[in-house]
Amino acid sequence: MAKKVKWGVIGSGGIARRRTIPEGIVPAGNAELAIVYDIDAKVNAEVADEFGVLAAGSIEELLASDIDAVYIATPAGLHLTQTLACVVSGKNVLCEKPFGITVEDAQKMIAACREAGVLLGTGFMMRFGAQHRAALKMIQDGQLGALIYGRAQLSCWYPPAEDAWRQDPATGGGGSLIDMGSHCIDILEMFFGRASTVSCFISNAVHRYGSEDGAVVLLSFEGGAMATVDTFFCIPDASGKNALELYGSKGSILAKGTIGQADSGRMTAYLNEGGLYDAQQDGSESRGVAILPLPENMYRAEIVEFSQAMIEGRQPSNNAELGLRSQKVLAACYRSAETGRVVEVI
């Protein structure tokens, strides 16, 4: 394969236009944007003009071009059929999460891509955040000791709107949990390993649309750690600080604002190598050490990784198994919320 992967985009409005195209595909040294498609022809024409590429009039036209890969950024309910269409055309696929609506959708997507010999990747870009990678390195190096507890939070204000696919379970699979909580759960599994059981509560505290506007999840991990995820569509953007907290027997890593679409936020490590007992239990003097890795745009990093995997003929780190795993954990969460019981992740 050439040193640059030629990309097409299905769903050029939304997150593709805001983030993945300008921050990911365009600046990636091993990628090139060639053609875009969106159901909104006006928006698609604007995107094509903005980035100097072809505007496809249909998915069929896009797939008939000489592109190597497709980035799918459409509503979740379309991911299965669009991935299968890409597979028939021999195109590699990087699909936004979630992988369809159900576990079965994700399995069908993976099976089709495997049979056709094309790569399938998952759009969990937060795994590529520089501060998240730095925190993972510290954990892998044992600086937090035995992992004890974590928390990941992501909230926003998302009022009822006509044709908002995330507000209808039939088109989005659910609300704040599957849309934003999936990122939080994926990040926590990156740090702590696989979750074994979940207990979940969902609600419609403010917004009365079909999908939940809030969810809280308690996760128990195979390694013994525990964590919580809280994610809401009914908390004003300025009020939610998108907290990430990681605790171990030797200290903690605390962050605000690193979870989200922007490369921002602050992350601080509070380490106690001595592990001395303090009867006063006074942590007020602990100032911590700022975690300041070299900045790297997460959207660019995910495109670079997937493109390089194509060039080298290997599986990407942002692989399809992450999408399937996410659907399995989410299915357990929704089952727990429905039954009021702790549910094992299968």
Cα 208-213-216 angle, rounded to 5 deg: 140
Beta carbons of 267 and 134 less than 8 angstroms apart = yes
Q: What is the mean pLDDT of residues 29-40?
A: 98
State whether residue 316 is helix, strand or coil: coil
Confidence at residue 280, expressed as pLDDT on a 0 to 100 scale: 47
CA distances in angstroms from 136 to 147, 150, 187, listed in the order given: 12, 13, 10
% of residues, the chain, pLDDT over 90: 94
Q: Tell me the residue type at 51.
A: F
Residue with tokens 């995107």: 47
DSSP 215: E
User: In the sheet where 343-344 sits, what is the strand order?
Assistant: 289-290, 266-271, 251-256, 243-248, 147-155, 226-232, 214-221, 195-203, 343-344
Residues 6+ apart with CB under 8 A from 53: 33, 34, 35, 36
H/E element holding 149? strand 147-155
Listed residue (242, 201, 247, 244) closest to 225, CA to CA = 247
Contact 248, 227 (CB under 8 A): no
Contact 263, 279 (CB under 8 A): no
- pLDDT at 282 (0 to 100): 57
Tens of pLDDT, residues 160-207 = 999 999 999 999 999 999 999 999 999 999 999 999 999 999 999 999
pLDDT tens by residue, 80-97: 999 999 999 999 999 999
Percent of the chain with pLDDT over 70: 95
d(CA 22, CA 28): 10
Banded pLDDT at 277 (limits 50, 70, 90): very low
Contact 263, 298 (CB under 8 A): yes
Mean pLDDT of the chain: 95
Whose CA is closest to 22, among 258, 300, 294? 300
User: In the predicted model, is pLDDT for residue 209 greater than 90?
Assistant: yes
Residue 254 has pLDDT above 70, yes or no: yes
pLDDT at 275: 53
Question: What is the DSSP-derived secondary structure letter of residue 27?
Answer: T
pLDDT tens-digit readout, 97-148: 999 999 999 999 999 999 999 999 999 999 999 999 999 999 999 999 999 9
The pTM for the full model equals 0.95
Q: Is the pLDDT of residue 65 over 70?
A: yes
Mean pLDDT is lowest, of 85-89, 144-148, 214-218, 261-265, for: 261-265
Q: Is the dihedral of CA 297, 300, 306, 312 positive or negative?
A: negative
Sheet bearing 69-72, strands edge to edge: 54-55, 31-37, 5-10, 69-72, 92-95, 120-122
Give pLDDT tens digits for 292-325: 999 999 999 999 999 999 999 999 999 999 999 9
Complete DSSP assignment for 61-90: HHHTSS-SEEEE-S-GGGHHHHHHHHHHTT
Distance CA(267)–CA(269), nearest Å, equals 7
pLDDT band of residue 279 (cuts 50, 70, 90) is very low
Q: Flag whether pLDDT at 331 surpasses 70.
A: yes
Domains of the chain, each with CATH number or no CATH? 5-125+299-318 (3.40.50.720), 126-296+328-344 (3.30.360.10)
Q: What would the mean pLDDT of 240-259 be, rounded to a whole number?
A: 96
Q: pLDDT at position 190, please?
A: 98
CA separation, residue 178 to residues 114, 193, 214 (Å): 25, 19, 11
